[in-house]
Amino acid sequence: MTQWPCPMAGGGTVEEWALVERPTGAPKACVLIVPALFDEGNKLRRFTVEVMRRLAGGGIACVLPDLPGLNESILPLDTQTPGDWQVAMEGAARHFAASHMLTIRGGALAAPRGVPGWYYAPVAGAGQLRQMLRARILAAREAGRSETQDSLLEAGRVHGLELAGYRLGADFIAEFGGLVAREAPSVQTITQDMLGGPGLWLRPEPGEDGTQADALAAIIAVAIAQREAA
């Protein structure tokens, strides 16, 4: 783990944490990994680290920074917006001299612009919100309360909203639902069927899958080697 000066959208920086995996010897490339969001990030954390270790074993450095407001970040989540996250990831790409990026699931919505790489199983903001809203509505129903997606979103755009244990601000709710992964010729999508088996984010508890980690790391390593040879 290392700290780095994360830029804030309003100016200035704050010290945030990043997990770094370095190969023995000079790295062939450096991949910035933008993690999955919220509960999916928890479920995929071990898998993400295993992919990093495999890439480092093949001579590729990897950096996994915390998004502001999540994990070990000292910033409050309810003051963050998706735009703040993108500013942070672009700052991370510059600071760590990332040659490539890999986003995991909703991390594609905070992908740094101008960095080539891959979206792994990207999900739109609307899809991520629906999952979190559904979980809240089911919990409310079990507690004897009636909530609907429309009423929650309407209130969330004004007052913010707590979803799946995460307190999201009004600006975040208003912006996030309309986001999709930005298309760019230098960014390719890695679909789940390319790894084999169901996505680990579908499991009820965090888990890992060595075969899927091998497959994802191999796709990236081969592509980097081909680009170097071109």
Q: Tens-digit pLDDT profile for the chain (230 aa)?
A: 999 999 988 889 999 999 999 998 888 999 999 999 999 999 999 999 999 999 999 999 999 999 999 999 999 999 999 999 999 999 999 999 999 999 999 999 999 999 999 999 999 999 999 999 999 999 888 888 888 999 999 999 999 999 989 999 999 999 999 999 999 999 999 999 999 999 999 998 888 899 999 999 999 999 999 877 76
pLDDT computed for residue 10 by the predictor: 83
Residue 208: partners with Cβ closer than 8 Å, 6 or more residues away: 46, 47, 50, 200
pLDDT computed for residue 188 by the predictor: 97
Using the Cα atoms of residue 46, residue 29, residue 116 and residue 11 in order, give the sign of their dihedral: positive
- For the domain spanning 2-124+185-229, the CATH number is 3.40.50.1820
Domain ranges of the chain: 2-124+185-229, 125-178
Whole-model pTM?
Answer: 0.93
pLDDT computed for residue 34 by the predictor: 98
pLDDT computed for residue 204 by the predictor: 86
pLDDT computed for residue 230 by the predictor: 64
pLDDT computed for residue 9 by the predictor: 81
Rounded to whole angstroms, the Cα distance separating 180 from 177 reads: 9
pLDDT computed for residue 58 by the predictor: 95
Contact 161, 147 (CB under 8 A): no
pLDDT computed for residue 124 by the predictor: 97
